[in-house]
Structure 1
Amino acid sequence: MATNTNAACEACRFFDDHKLNGGQASGDEGLCRFNPPVSQPEPKSPGLWPVVASKDWCGHFTSDMTAAE
């Protein structure tokens, strides 16, 4: 199955590369903010956002320009 490189995570409105909040992502990784954080097994552990590579893609892709504001 061929992927559409224009629909990669780095071009999705839900991709958080940490540049706006002053954080540093390692490599080309970022956080997918489409769904809420995933809960952890321990009750006191914080939820975590899924880590994705900038070239990953999924069926939830929404570009910044076409997304409803």
Structure 2
Amino acid sequence: MQCQGCRFWFSSKTQCRRNAPLPAVSEKGSQTLWPTTAADDWCGEFQPKVTDEKAAA
């Protein structure tokens, strides 16, 4: 049950989108960012990705 198999993980940006983005402030200003995670990270919010095959069942 790692990020790479979770429905909330976007591999193209290595971001977890389970919760709302977090505020971040720097010298360039403020913005909101999704948490960056590695493919082999994990958490207690894991939900398996839904594939077309599973959705059809």
TM-score by length of 1: 0.62
Q: CA deviation at 1:41?
A: 3.2
Gaps of 5+ in 2: none
Of Structure 1 and Structure 2, which has the larger fraction of its residues in strand?
2
Of Structure 1 and Structure 2, which has the larger fraction of its residues in helix?
2
1:57 to 42, 45, 48: 42
Matched length: 49
2:33 to 25, 29, 48: 48
For 1:62 and 1:38, locate their aligned partners in 2 and report how far apart those are by CA, in whole Å. 21
Instruction: Look at both structures and tell me which one has the larger radius of gyration over its CA atoms.
Output: 2
RMSD: 1.9
For 1:36 and 1:55, locate their aligned partners in 2 and report how far apart those are by CA, in whole Å. 21
Q: Deviations over 1:18-41 (max 9, x none)?
A: 2xxxxxx5xxxx100001100123
Counterpart position of 2:8: 14
For 2:49 and 2:38, locate their aligned partners in 1 and report how far apart those are by CA, in whole Å. 18
Q: Deviating runs (4+, > 4 A) in structure 1?
A: none
Gaps of 5+ in 1: 1-6, 19-24
